[in-house]
Structure 1
Amino acid sequence: MAGLLMAAGPATQAAESQHRAIPSYCANAKSSGLPLPTSLPQDDYESRLKAFVKDRRYVNLGWCVDKETAGNLVRDTGPFIDGVYYGTHPAVRVYYSPEAMAWITGNRESPMPDGAIIVKEMFPPPAARYEGLSEDEVVDKLSNWTVMVRDAAGAKDGWYWAEFSRSGDQAHNEPLVHLNYPDAGFGQYCVRCHASAKHQSTFSTTRNIKGFPGEPIRYRVDDSWREGAVAAPHVHEPKNTQRGSHRMAGHGLSEFGKAPPRLGSPNPEFIALFSPGRFPKDAPLQLLPKETGDRVVAPGKGKPGFVTSDQCMSCHGGLNSQGLSGPNLFIALSPEYGDGYNLSHYGEWRWSPMGLAGRDPIFHAQLDSEISLLEKQFSSDPEKGKTYVRHLENLCFSCHAPMGQRQLSRDAETLDLDPLFKREYLFLTEDHRDDPYYKYGALGRDGVSCALCHSARSDKFASADIGKLRAYLTEVTTGRLPRGELGEIYGPLKEDDIAAEPMKNALGLTPKHDPFIKSSRLCGSCHTVNLPNVDQPIPPDQRTMLDDLPNDALFRPFKHTIEQATYLEWLNSAYQDEYPEFNKTPQHAQSCQGCHMPEGFTSADGKIHVQRLQGRIASVQDHTHPEADHLVEADGINVRYREEGISRHKFRGLNATLLMMFEQFNGMLGVRKDDFMTGAKGLSQALEGYVQQARDNTVDLEVQAAFDGANSLTVDVDVTNKAGHRFPSGVGFRRAFLELLVVEDGVDGERTLWSSGRTNTVGAIVDGDGNVLPTEFFDRDADGKEQYQPHHEVISRQDQVQIYEELIQDTKGDFTTSFIRRHKHVKDNRLLPLGWQLRGPFPDRYAELEYYIEATHPGQDAIRDPDYTDGKGRDRIRYEISLPEGTDPDKVSVRATLFYQSIPPYWLRQRFETAPHMPATQRLYYIASHLNLDGTLLEDWKLRLASVTAKPSR
């Protein structure tokens, strides 16, 4: 088999570099007459090219064509053995335009002329099916075409790629949204193989072309394809043949869900709780543009910039096939195509909150509220208000649409562009490609994408010097990730261990080694967020910390607080590995990547366990593929098989609510639910991973219960944080809460005797009678004071609940979820990590880092709780419970459960009350009110983390 897959040797390639005469039968071939792709709108050019190809006009124009061999007009592109086809394409017959032929027969090192076209007619493999058939009989079997049109201005690889089916087009008639992968365009996944060509991304060779000497490339084909072949195994055929053997080679095509403008009936309990009268019933919903428009390719000319993830997907998206190149970074569960786990870099990143950051409906509703509050604050000076809104949008999108925001900022230095990123750019669809800001919107919708992190590097902020830590916190956090050299891309592998040529050819990027990619400071850029309190300016004579504030001059005169401190929490824990000499428990040291990018995999049901992923980190055409001429030398394209060192890109926390919204409203939010390259159910598998994360990696619970008398029960619950930072962490409105139930077994089942922390079906915490607690929405008491749950050490009533959360008040003294009105910390009892210290990891340097270390401190109640602050990452709560008279102690059990809510009810209500007139809020209200969580991991709007049941002692 190995001999069948080897490429042509240097002698063959050298011989073909000589100039040759074009054969007489096609010497007078005519050009296509088509304009260049860059000269027309995408849809216009695609329709013209499609008509040209489907009418087979290239035949009438007299183009050169592949030679006939042994009475067969069709040739294979790989072996067919034991029922499996190993071709890079299906069986083909290729036609070459006169411009292409001039290059093929001339100097291959010169640029291919624009307008050159190569058309592959494709047939179900193997070619042996067509032996002895006439021209008309062969054409009758033609299933589809792939086409290459040379236009060097369109992309770095220089080609417009297209695929058209003869039997019918891919459906373009969905009433709301079309989410299939595009049939044509620049930067298509075809470069996965073609980037390995030595010149101009084509392997075209004269020995395959009619009229030239030499035998065409041939491959072994056995008889297993024949009907009735003895002991022939089942031939795996793709469900959808529109992509032919591309499907066999690891390119999937899925049926994608879509959401109609209005879907079913809303949840009546949700409606009752969240003020439905604020929202117009028939208002049109704002849809996110479909992800097929999130395409920014490497430019054909000029300086390289950010590219979207679909440009990385081709090589780093995993493969699922029984034939060529697969499976790779894919665990197949059955022969059914797409049935399995796609563990590739792109495949898991796609369904992480990072991959969805630009489309996140929760974030967009938060931004609506911030804008609405700013407009109200500056109602007497609307122009000033607009200025603050513009700067705030730009600041927020430095983390949520970072490639668009940063590329725009860079381009505005030399182009006539406004450097501040606007949210409206995200809604520029493919119909707005001529808008100068379209590209930035497409980059922005792609979220915290591949090219962002892999373009970051930093020598200046190396970890070894504490002084450099302060510089890092001052200059890099709040979404200011340092960017490396243009034209370079960075990863953890050494340069002599990287197959660099495909990436250079496809994207104009040279992969380099840089250790910063493995540093937690890479993550800390967006997970240490220092924001202004816009209604609390600092008097000029007190502005002593301006050097530590974000670099937007408009916000510098305001008091700032650290809204998100995940990196700092990790730094002040037993897990930090940047300063090992200060870590007293080095056995726990682990970077952010160590937890969120593991090398192993275990399925949620525990049936599949892989200690370390093995495979190739990229899938390109190399010397393990079928024979082809004009490949790059082996060292430049050989992606070696790795038995260790492959890190998953799952980036998973606990925001399962976000993924559930994308699961049920993917059409409204503009994304596929399945993976294109492998066909895997990527979104639903990511949700399975959240169950696993919650169960295995978040908290431990211990319960001890004892009767003090006939009806008096004492319960101690220990909650231990297993995360490498506070829990919850991230944005401040996340919360976790303890539900404690005392139940009695009876003839008719279990009866609840006492409870703390139960919820209704929409996640609001209720008392023993089922009434929503006044603390859930900060209802005011008789004195007009907003009520909340403090940090409890002892709980004795059913309206008392231990909630781990951060609560903030604004300058008016009202509880707020605004990120830019964080005046006063009223409560912060989020569970501290193991190894937390009051003066931080460097007590002798505390004064130098005080502003940042204080961001890891608990609030005023929790800091006085000795077991909470002892550095063991735990909290103990005592429940003192009086049970009803006549309770049988032998039938009593105690059940403690910790639940998590990424968006608590009070956060939702503040969104709906603050900006009901704004489109992202209306979209979130519609999604949330129609979200069906029955029977899911988020039933009753809460995620279960851990649960323990105990029998009380007597």
Structure 2
Amino acid sequence: MLTKHGRCWLAGVAFAGALVASPPRPPEVFHTHERCFACHNQLAGPAGQDISFGFEWSATMMANSARDPYWQAGVRRETLDHPSAASAIEAECSICHMPMARYEAVLAGGQGRVFAHTKFDPGVRADRLAADGVSCSLCHQIAPEKLGTRESFVGRFVIAGATGGLRTAFGPVAVDAGRARIMSSSSGFRPTEAKHIRHSELCASCHTLLTHSLDAAGKPVGEFPEQVPYLEWLHSAYREAMSCQACHMPLVRGPAPIASVLVNLRDEVSRHSFPGGNFFLQRLLNRFRGELAVSALPAQLERSAEGTIEHLGREAARLTIEDAGVRENRLQAVIRIENLAGHKLPTAYPSRRAWLHVKVSDAGGRILFESGALNPDGSIQGNDNDLDPRRYEQHYEEINSPEQVQIYEAIMGDPSGVPTTGLLTAVRYLKDNRLLPRGFDKSSAEKEVAVWGTAVGDRNFIGGSDRVRLAIKLPGEQGSVRIEVALWYQPVAYRWAANLSEYQAFEPQRIWRYFRLLAQGSAVKLAQAVLVR
């Protein structure tokens, strides 16, 4: 019979054996942003402007992808709609919004998780990686292998391996040996020149999302193009002219530094401001920064939101009013809407919409006709879908009634053909008349980027522009009339937010509360035109 000491000895042997037999700890592939900020902040451009990579990045949606309360609400909604697939849904949704935490989890034999990390506990490495969103050491470690192929879409990029104890950090320029040694010793990364870091295919790996539609039992029933701006760009004239980075990482004009240590001025330095289309979420993050564990300073977020709005106003669209005249109390005119972007407008996540607000008034300012006014609650006056989730506005070639609103949007349909805002419930688009980029041929477009609905047959809805006729009956004889047309844009459409209110869970209820509080600032004007006749 074993003595007490014998049992302890045997237990000790077993424990030691378990330690010896256990697999090695998975390597730490990523650093959070603090390691990079030490040298890549405090940067000034030729005019003295702050171009600090870290300062600008920290207020972007890239940095805050995991904190995004709208995304969190969407993930929760999908897990409630498809409970049997909840863990798979979290794993899929973590790929691009919590990519570093997810990547290391998979290396350790696990899978990505979302809600396990949303407390963002600084004492937990996985939480720190999750909170860092799409960070420096993620993008700069993506290798060129497979980029631009379907195998790389939905976040299936390849992370470069380590050699000689150092990981690879790709950049667009060569770094001399002295500066490379400083970076390697301070960060564990070897700077390596690589041209792919400035190619659209790099961005495509996370911004091309082909999701799997699920049936009531949580089984896949098909593939759905949730967001495909890269494929839209690929089918446009811009593929030969401009990359994603050309617009979303604008170049500094003139020589500028890329590091604050041993400063060396370089040409064509890319800013890390990432202007896109989500000013509303940036302001929402700022307003509720305490609840959302936001680390960027208020001034940073407001500057970034303002930069996004300026970018949209400058680069998104142009409006003109043509062939206007009044005859026999009827106003006739043509509105020309030009898409200046290298993809559809709006693009990416299908909650985004743009629309025409048309207003006609007499010489005294009295409104004679109005279509598409924004309501204080964020809905559009006269929009069928905002009034009834089972209906939606068709694409119009002519507007002759206040009840007709020209909305450029994607309306998803469930297996019964009913409009839905559930990404994994959707099996096809019922309508997609988002403005096409220049050079886009809708007749030859692949299914993933196709036009859907009545816009298919509209001969004035073409690559780069749309023309909409106005045919408005005026109330009696008028002197001069003033025609005002504006193209508005809303990143989170009212219906998409309102549908989340039906889910009695923390995240959907939170975003519905946020939306209602900030609804009046949920949209901005992209372009406008005024004409008096």
TM-score (norm. length: structure 1): 0.51
Quote the Cα distance in structure 2 between the aligned partners of 1:878 and 1:839. Answer: 23
Are positions 1:950 and 2:531 aligned together? yes
Q: Deviations over 1:379-432 (max 9, x none)?
A: xxxxxx1xx1111101011001111111111133xxxxx3342421232524xx
Q: Deviations over 1:755-786 (max 9, x none)?
A: 1111211221124xxxxx4432435xxxxxx3
| Larger Rg computed on CA atoms | 1
Q: Any conservation in 2 of the 1:390–1:422 contact (CA below 8 Å)? A: no
Matched residue, 2:18:
none
- 1:807 aligns to what SS in structure 2? strand
Q: CA deviation at 1:665?
A: 1.3
Matched residue, 2:373:
758
Matched residue, 2:341:
723
Matched residue, 2:192:
512
- 2:237 aligns to what SS in structure 1? coil
Match 1:880 to one of 450, 471, 484? 471
Go from structure 1 to structure 2 and tell me whether the alpha carbon gap of 1:331 and 1:911 turns closer, same or farther (over 3 Å shift).
farther
- 2:356 aligns to what SS in structure 1? strand
Q: Any conservation in 2 of the 1:664–1:931 contact (CA below 8 Å)? A: no
Go from structure 1 to structure 2 and tell me whether the alpha carbon gap of 1:641 and 1:302 turns closer, same or farther (over 3 Å shift).
farther
Match 1:569 to one of 232, 238, 241? 232
Q: Any conservation in 1 of the 2:224–2:428 contact (CA below 8 Å)? A: no
Q: Any conservation in 2 of the 1:330–1:342 contact (CA below 8 Å)? A: no
Matched residue, 2:111:
419
Quote the Cα distance in structure 2 between the aligned partners of 1:942 and 1:895. Answer: 18
Are positions 1:405 and 2:102 aligned together? yes
Go from structure 1 to structure 2 and tell me whether the alpha carbon gap of 1:646 and 1:706 turns closer, same or farther (over 3 Å shift).
closer
Are positions 1:835 and 2:414 aligned together? no
Q: CA deviation at 1:366?
A: 0.9
Are positions 1:814 and 2:418 aligned together? yes
Quote the Cα distance in structure 2 between the aligned partners of 1:774 and 1:805. Answer: 13
Matched residue, 2:41:
317
Go from structure 1 to structure 2 and tell me whether the alpha carbon gap of 1:774 and 1:593 turns closer, same or farther (over 3 Å shift).
closer
Instruction: State how 1:332-481 maps to structure 2 within 5 Å.
Output: 341-375=49-83, 385=84, 388-412=85-109, 418-430=110-122, 433=123, 438-461=124-147, 472-473=149-150, 475-481=151-157
Q: Deviations over 1:503-545 (max 9, x none)?
A: 21122111111222111111001111011110189xxxxxxxx
If asked which structure has higher relative contact order (CA below 8 Å, sep 6+), I would say 2
Q: Deviations over 1:633-677 (max 9, x none)?
A: xxxxx44222x12101111112111011012111111124438xx
- 1:754 aligns to what SS in structure 2? strand
Quote the Cα distance in structure 1 between the aligned partners of 2:487 and 2:178. Answer: 46
Quote the Cα distance in structure 1 between the aligned partners of 2:177 and 2:200. Answer: 23
- Letter of the 2:91 counterpart: N
- Letter of the 2:507 counterpart: A
Quote the Cα distance in structure 2 between the aligned partners of 1:460 and 1:793. Answer: 42
Quote the Cα distance in structure 2 between the aligned partners of 1:909 and 1:682. Answer: 29
- Letter of the 2:179 counterpart: A
Q: Any conservation in 1 of the 2:498–2:512 contact (CA below 8 Å)? A: no
Q: Any conservation in 2 of the 1:353–1:652 contact (CA below 8 Å)? A: no
- Letter of the 1:429 counterpart: D
Go from structure 1 to structure 2 and tell me whether the alpha carbon gap of 1:459 and 1:476 turns closer, same or farther (over 3 Å shift).
closer
Q: CA deviation at 1:574?
A: 0.5
- CA RMSD after TM alignment: 2.2
Matched residue, 2:8:
none
- 2:73 aligns to what SS in structure 1? helix
Q: Any conservation in 1 of the 2:98–2:114 contact (CA below 8 Å)? A: no
Quote the Cα distance in structure 2 between the aligned partners of 1:309 and 1:740. Answer: 46
Matched residue, 1:894:
483
- Letter of the 1:595 counterpart: C
Q: Any conservation in 1 of the 2:26–2:108 contact (CA below 8 Å)? A: no
Q: Deviations over 1:676-720 (max 9, x none)?
A: xxxxx3212112212311211000101025334241101210000
Matched residue, 2:31:
307
Quote the Cα distance in structure 1 between the aligned partners of 2:519 and 2:493. Answer: 17
Q: Deviations over 1:281-308 (max 9, x none)?
A: xxxxxxxxxxxxxxxxxxxx98441111
Go from structure 1 to structure 2 and tell me whether the alpha carbon gap of 1:671 and 1:789 turns closer, same or farther (over 3 Å shift).
same
- Letter of the 2:105 counterpart: L
Quote the Cα distance in structure 2 between the aligned partners of 1:318 and 1:489. Answer: 21
Quote the Cα distance in structure 2 between the aligned partners of 1:802 and 1:392. Answer: 34
Matched residue, 1:778:
388
Q: Any conservation in 1 of the 2:417–2:430 contact (CA below 8 Å)? A: no
Are positions 1:533 and 2:213 aligned together? yes
Quote the Cα distance in structure 2 between the aligned partners of 1:789 and 1:454. Answer: 43
Matched residue, 2:399:
795
Quote the Cα distance in structure 2 between the aligned partners of 1:452 and 1:880. Answer: 53
Match 1:658 to one of 258, 281, 285? 281
Quote the Cα distance in structure 1 between the aligned partners of 2:72 and 2:347. Answer: 20
Q: CA deviation at 1:733?
A: 1.6
- 1:668 aligns to what SS in structure 2? coil
- Letter of the 2:427 counterpart: H
Query: How high is the sequence identity, in percent, across the aligned residues?
Result: 30
Quote the Cα distance in structure 2 between the aligned partners of 1:422 and 1:354. Answer: 16
Quote the Cα distance in structure 2 between the aligned partners of 1:816 and 1:945. Answer: 27
- 2:327 aligns to what SS in structure 1? coil
- 2:290 aligns to what SS in structure 1? helix
Quote the Cα distance in structure 2 between the aligned partners of 1:764 and 1:652. Answer: 25
Instruction: State how 1:614-693 maps to structure 2 within 5 Å.
Output: 614-620=255-261, 638-642=262-266, 644-674=267-297, 681-693=299-311
Matched residue, 1:592:
244
Quote the Cα distance in structure 2 between the aligned partners of 1:510 and 1:348. Answer: 24
Go from structure 1 to structure 2 and tell me whether the alpha carbon gap of 1:558 and 1:508 turns closer, same or farther (over 3 Å shift).
same
Q: Any conservation in 1 of the 2:323–2:332 contact (CA below 8 Å)? A: yes
Quote the Cα distance in structure 2 between the aligned partners of 1:673 and 1:484. Answer: 29
Quote the Cα distance in structure 1 between the aligned partners of 2:392 and 2:354. Answer: 15
Match 2:353 to one of 735, 751, 765? 735
Q: Deviations over 1:248-273 (max 9, x none)?
A: xxxxxxxxxxxxxxxxxxxxxxxxxx
Q: Any conservation in 1 of the 2:154–2:208 contact (CA below 8 Å)? A: yes
Quote the Cα distance in structure 1 between the aligned partners of 2:493 and 2:324. Answer: 33
Quote the Cα distance in structure 1 between the aligned partners of 2:81 and 2:355. Answer: 30
Go from structure 1 to structure 2 and tell me whether the alpha carbon gap of 1:745 and 1:440 turns closer, same or farther (over 3 Å shift).
same
Q: Aligned pairs, how many?
A: 505
Q: CA deviation at 1:444?
A: 1.1
- Letter of the 1:425 counterpart: H
* Runs of 4+ in structure 1 over 6 Å off: none
TM-score (norm. length: structure 2): 0.90
- Letter of the 1:346 counterpart: G
Matched residue, 1:37:
none
Unaligned runs of 5+ in 2: 1-24
Quote the Cα distance in structure 2 between the aligned partners of 1:522 and 1:507. Answer: 23
Go from structure 1 to structure 2 and tell me whether the alpha carbon gap of 1:511 and 1:304 turns closer, same or farther (over 3 Å shift).
farther
Q: Deviations over 1:84-103 (max 9, x none)?
A: xxxxxxxxxxxxxxxxxxxx
Matched residue, 2:6:
none
Q: Any conservation in 2 of the 1:698–1:945 contact (CA below 8 Å)? A: yes
Matched residue, 2:3:
none
Q: Deviations over 1:582-603 (max 9, x none)?
A: xxxxxxx111111111113xxx
Quote the Cα distance in structure 2 between the aligned partners of 1:662 and 1:806. Answer: 25
